[in-house]
Chain A
Amino acid sequence: MDSPPFLRMSGVRKRYGGVTALDGADFEADAGTVHAVLGPNGSGKSTLLKVLTGVVGPDAGEVRLRGEPLRPRGPRDTLAAGVASVYQELSLVEDFTVLDNLLLGVEPTRFGLRDRRAATARALPWLERFAPAFGGRVPVRERVGDLDPGERQVVEVCKALVRDPQVLVLDEATASLRRGQVEVLFEVVTDLRERGVLVLFITHRLAEIFSVCDRATVMRNGTDVATVTVADTPERELVELMSGQPQARSSAAPARQAALRTAPDTAGAAAPAVGADPSAPPRLEVRELTGDRLDGVSLHVRAGEVLGLGGLQGQGQSELMAALFGSGRRTGGTVLLNGAPVRPRSPKQAVRAGFCYVPGNRGGQGLALGRPILENFALPSVGRRAALGVALSRRREVAAARSVAERINTRYGSLDDPVSTLSGGNQQKIVVGKWFPTEPSVVLMDDPAKGIDVGAKAEMFEVVAELAASGAAVIVGSSDDRELVEVCDRVLVMFEGRVVDEVFGDRLTEDTLIASAMHITGADVAAAHSGDAAAELPEPDHDPEARAPGPDHGPEEGGA
């Protein structure tokens, strides 16, 4: 090998509890390039760059910058090595002015005191450069908390630039920017490339990759799949690299695959069987709903139907459910429940109207972990059984809880045991099952299977099917495309606060969902798959039997 690459990461592994985020990823990039890192949700691209910036410590692997090993103990070390990162939101102090934020941690001093003049001299050129992104002004002394989200993101970019980085990491930095702001950013990125800076770029907008990136590394299931030159790679080939082959994915871990197979059998059997009568009037209809991160969402769900909300993470799925459940902001649009407009202003009103909500982090929002199973079952419906609105009969509570537990097939020792004594899967069943007695019209589930194992997941989705069978309309948001394919009758793909695609029937496959999430038209994908179905992957090693379990290709796992 001749001269070492400017940046090389090799064999990087990282596990979070039971979830493998990075599974022996390798990555190389050269100075003076703009290098995109691509991949579907949970492919490990963000984790890879967080390892580089020192926010996440890897379990194994090595990072070399200019041939020198980089073992950061935190962002301080990486910044000193010339790596600066633009974070999506976490690195600004809202109470500080723009100037103070830009120089936080690198304040110039004179006689031991902060030197405002030197600070301004250092920050002002960047702010002036980005003035068009601030609507033509240079907000040196404005409080960051008073800026809008797009402007804060621009401040975040300037903050990284003030540190004169050799490597600039842009992790979804364009997500909250307006078109004009993105243009300014890309001009600057082009300048930086001229000056020999390596720019690493994560984005969910594929078009941006083609307009600014030189190279692209595609990640999938925690490893790097391929690195390509963007100019020589057609869009559809990139999409294909990202989606991969479903067979190749699961066959790497036969045991897990077996577990997975149970999911479509059990959950899938019930949900479409009940099937929503297409002629029936919709149970829930949403028209042009706007609010936080929602830009005119329209949808309808019928009784007995399981509707998925897919797309990349953070495209408004959670906000949509929050708006429906009365805990998020709604600025416009109509919501019709059984044909009548509803506008719950709090979760309590939403529950009364017939909504129920199943969150992803069951400890935080779905369960009182330390309290007995009985109480957790009873909580949402307790008002219905209380005589005169206050008096509770223990016998009636126990009977109600028993009937639900039986219905959702939960195993427990005693109803008086704390919920925390149950397995994750059984806990998750209670999160869902406790809503049965309220006979909900609409069930909202926001990433309900986040962080639980496959078996528990399958069991929980049985309960979802049961709810749908009992006549509820179910909306499931998930960042796991496989899960959506398994449990949903129909999936709406969201992108930047709008529904951009509707996928059902034969089109409802992981590939379609990934392509659709990247905002590629269906025709492109069809072309990609019909054109070279046999040679989906450029690398010859996707036959799992022939593959040695090297550091690059360990067992794969879905979401991070």
Chain B
Amino acid sequence: MRLRFYFTSIESDSGGELGQYGRGASITGAAENNPKLAATLPPSGFINVDQVTSWLSIAMVLSFILVQNRQGKTRLAKWYSPYSDEEKVKLKGEVHRLVAPRDQKYQSNFVEFRRSTKVVYRRYAGLFFCVCVDANDNELAYLEAIHFFVEVLDQFFGNVCELDLVFNFYKVYAILDEVFLAGEIQETSKQVVLTRLEHLDKLE
């Protein structure tokens, strides 16, 4: 299922670029060589599965972030790759079913998920913070990133609880956008993030 999704996204991407290329080239003037374009297309008629996965490792580093409670109610969902609505519903369910029954003490915080990705999660009270990353990424660092995000939330709300996330969900998204951008962590100083948020709130 996912694999098919990858294929179509790759094909549509390259197709899009192909269509775009003529216009884009004349605008930017970088017409002589378009090596990237050729590279995006599969070299021959068929797509090697290995190649697909390795493209992915650069194409998406962090594909989504989910915060769910133990019942599987999603408190926050941020998608860094374009998923269809049905896909989103499915992913939420799958992640919950994978993560919720895991043993905190005897199991690691990483679950292999679909093809070539894994879910790194951390549980805080009744909430699971899950990020879906590439299978080759540094899981331990993502675990720290989750914790960093939670610490920012904690300081922002002052002892954060699930209800804070429910009633202030739009603020949570704003905080998330200050910590992660395009699936990459962008700031590592809590103080910088919090000051920034304070300024933003003052402007409203």
Q: Are chains A and B native binding partners rather than an unrelated pairing?
A: no
